[in-house]
């Protein structure tokens, strides 16, 4: 019998291109601090807390930028949050806030110091300044971030690995997904963060840093002071959701504005406040000032009772850091139940009256 010999052509050798690692110079992190009546805004202190954590991770300095008038001693309020350098622009023309001079100072300082990361509060001031500064510096800006982290990114097209990038994390597409946004090539990496998203914590009461005075005349042109504030009317916040230890949150599932009255009654019994989801506000159940979530207020109460709230990302982004969450919902598969510590499966209109009756009876 003839034997046939088979010849196999070997596979071509697989060549894997080497990766190029790209790391920008590890410059410092800057936080723009909003000043009102001589005090640093809470949102700025929250951002300093986060900035300190990021700076420690990157092995760089945390720097703060304070702009206003009569700022003597402002550094004493900032140093305990781990600030290594405070840049102070003190001029009577810089308060109250107007856009052009503040923007000119920030751009000038950033051009000199070349920070790798710059963070602003997502306030009326921060939302005004952030885009202007990023445009002037030809950088990018991610608005309303819910988280900031440090990480790497691999570009598979160029086989480049970018190290020590700022992950700018925020809900997108109507809150249906969480997007992680990066800026690998341009500096500074810029983001705005809403008040209450980050936790405010003292780094060290004994921490000391350096103070640098900014020469306002060198950075600001006379025409930048074209806008003058003639009169100011400041309306005090009537609804204090941020400071409430207990919040009764109502969603579209509450059903009506009349049913929301039950939530107000329960809040009164417990000594809390009433919040709401965007769907409930859009339906006209309560006013916008009570909206909790990505387009509302971020809260961290000791107890958050979610009533008839489905639990979309748009809402949970503003309350998922609550110490304890109780969900009341007739849908056992509602997403809110996944983050709740306790779930009550039932109709809000039946459960809430029983809770009110119980707490009234046992509080006497």
* Nearest one of 19, 51, 47, 52 to 158, comparing CA atoms: 19
pLDDT at 8: 44
Per the structure, the complete domain to which residue 93 belongs is given by 20-225
Answer whether 304's CB lies under 8 Å from 320's CB. Answer: no
Does 26 belong to an annotated binding site? Answer: no
Give 33's strand partners. Answer: 66
Instruction: Provide the pLDDT confidence category of residue 20 given band limits of 50, 70 and 90.
Output: low
What is the rounded CA–CA span in Å between residue 19 and residue 158? 8
**Two tokens, residue 253:** 């599932």
The answer on whether 116 is annotated among ligand-binding residues is: no
Instruction: Report the pLDDT averaged over residues 29-58.
Output: 94
Q: What CA–CA distances, in Å, run from 296 to 84, 196, 197?
A: 33, 11, 11
User: Would the annotation count 23 as a binding residue?
Assistant: no
Check the annotation: does 140 bind a ligand: no
pLDDT at 4 over 50: no
Q: Are residues 154 and 121 in the same domain?
A: yes
Distance CA 220, CA 228 (A): 15
Q: Is 204 annotated as a binding residue?
A: no
- Domain annotation covers residue 6: no
- Is it the case that residue 5 has pLDDT exceeding 50? no
User: Do both 159 and 282 map to the same domain?
Assistant: no
310 belongs to an annotated ligand binding site: yes
Same-domain status, 43 and 149: yes
Q: Is 362 annotated as a binding residue?
A: no
- pLDDT higher than 80, residue 51: yes
Are residues 92 and 221 both part of a single domain? Answer: yes
Q: Which of 194, 225, 256 is the last residue of a domain?
A: 225
The mean per-residue pLDDT over the stretch 176-201 comes to: 89
**Residue 256: pLDDT over 90:** yes
Q: What is the CATH number of the domain that holds 315?
A: 3.40.50.1220
Q: What is this structure's pTM?
A: 0.80
> Which residue, of 225, 254, 274, is where some domain finishes?
225
- Whether 13 is covered by a domain: the verdict is no
At 3 the pLDDT is 47
Assign residue 46 the CATH number of its domain: 3.40.50.620
300 lies in some domain: yes
**Does residue 46 share a domain with residue 97?**
yes
- pLDDT for residue 154 is more than 50: yes
Residue 275 annotated as binding? no
- The reply to whether 306 falls in a domain is yes
Residues 97 and 131 in one domain: yes
The answer, yes or no, to whether residue 83 has pLDDT greater than 90, is yes
Q: Does some domain include residue 234?
A: no
Q: What is the mean pLDDT of residues 127-135?
A: 96
Q: Does a structural domain hold residue 323?
A: yes
What does the longest C-alpha to C-alpha distance in the chain come to?
Answer: 109
Q: Given this model, what pLDDT does residue 324 score?
A: 97
Identify the residue with better confidence: 305 or 18: 305
pLDDT tens-digit readout, 223-242 = 999 888 888 777 776 788 98
73 is in an annotated binding site: no
Mean pLDDT value of segment 311-338: 93
| Residue 193 assigned to a binding site | no
Percent of the chain with pLDDT over 70: 91
In terms of domains, do 110 and 220 share one?
yes
Of 174, 192, 225, the domain-final residue: 225
Distances from the Cα of 35 to the Cα of 3, 74, 122, 203, angstroms: 91, 9, 14, 20
DSSP class of 302: S
Residues 326 and 216 reside in one and the same domain:
no
Residue 141 has pLDDT above 50, yes or no: yes
Does 17 have pLDDT greater than 80? no
| Judgement on whether residues 86 and 57 belong to the same structural domain of the protein | yes
Is 31 a domain residue? yes
76/111 same-domain check: yes
Comparing C-alpha atoms, which of 117, 123, 126 is closest to residue 148?
Answer: 117
In a domain, 289, yes or no: yes
**d(C-alpha 72, C-alpha 189), whole Å:** 30
Is 222 a known ligand-binding residue?
A: no
Radius of gyration of the chain (CA): 26
Average pLDDT value for residue range 136-152: 92
Q: Are residues 97 and 54 in the same domain?
A: yes
Total domains in the fold of the chain:
2
* Shared domain check, 262 and 160: no
Residue 7 is predicted with a pLDDT of 43
Judged against a pLDDT cut of 80, whether residue 176 lies above it is answered with no
């Amino acid at each position: 019998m003839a034997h046939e010999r088979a010849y196999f052509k070997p596979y071509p050798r697989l060549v894997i291109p080497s990766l190029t690692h790209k790391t920008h110079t590890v410059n410092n992190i800057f936080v723009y601090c909003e000043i009102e009546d001589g005090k640093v805004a809470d949102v700025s202190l929250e951002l300093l807390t986060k900035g300190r954590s990021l700076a420690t991770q990157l092995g760089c300095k945390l720097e703060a930028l304070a702009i206003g008038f009569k700022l003597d001693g402002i550094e004493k309020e900032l140093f305990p949050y781990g600030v290594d350098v405070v840049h102070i622009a003190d001029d009577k023309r810089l308060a109250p806030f107007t856009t052009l001079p503040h923007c000119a100072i920030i751009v000038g300082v950033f051009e000199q110091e070349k920070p790798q990361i710059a963070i602003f509060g997502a306030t009326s001031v921060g939302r005004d300044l952030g885009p202007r500064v990023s445009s002037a510096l030809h950088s990018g800006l991610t608005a309303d971030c819910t988280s900031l982290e440090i990480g790497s990114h691999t570009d598979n097209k160029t086989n480049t690995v970018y190290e020590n990038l700022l992950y700018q994390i925020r809900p997108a597409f109507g809150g249906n997904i969480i997007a992680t946004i990066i800026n690998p090539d341009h500096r500074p990496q810029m983001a705005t963060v809403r008040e209450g998203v980050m936790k405010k914590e003292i780094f060290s009461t004994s921490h000391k840093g350096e103070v640098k005075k900014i020469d306002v005349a060198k950075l600001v042109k006379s025409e930048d002071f074209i806008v003058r504030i003639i009169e100011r009317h400041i309306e005090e916040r009537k609804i204090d959701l941020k400071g409430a230890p207990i919040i009764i949150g109502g969603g579209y599932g509450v059903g009506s504005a009349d049913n929301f009255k039950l939530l107000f009654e329960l809040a009164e019994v417990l000594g809390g406040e009433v919040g709401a989801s965007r769907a409930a506000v859009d339906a006209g159940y309560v006013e916008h000032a009570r909206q909790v979530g990505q387009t509302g207020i971020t809260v961290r109460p000791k107890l958050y009772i979610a009533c008839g709230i489905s639990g979309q990302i748009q809402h949970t982004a503003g309350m998922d850091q609550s110490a304890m969450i109780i969900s009341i919902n007739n849908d056992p598969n509602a997403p809110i139940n996944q983050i709740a510590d306790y779930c009550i499966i039932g109709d809000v209109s039946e459960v809430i009256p029983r809770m009110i009756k119980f707490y009234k009876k046992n509080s006497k």
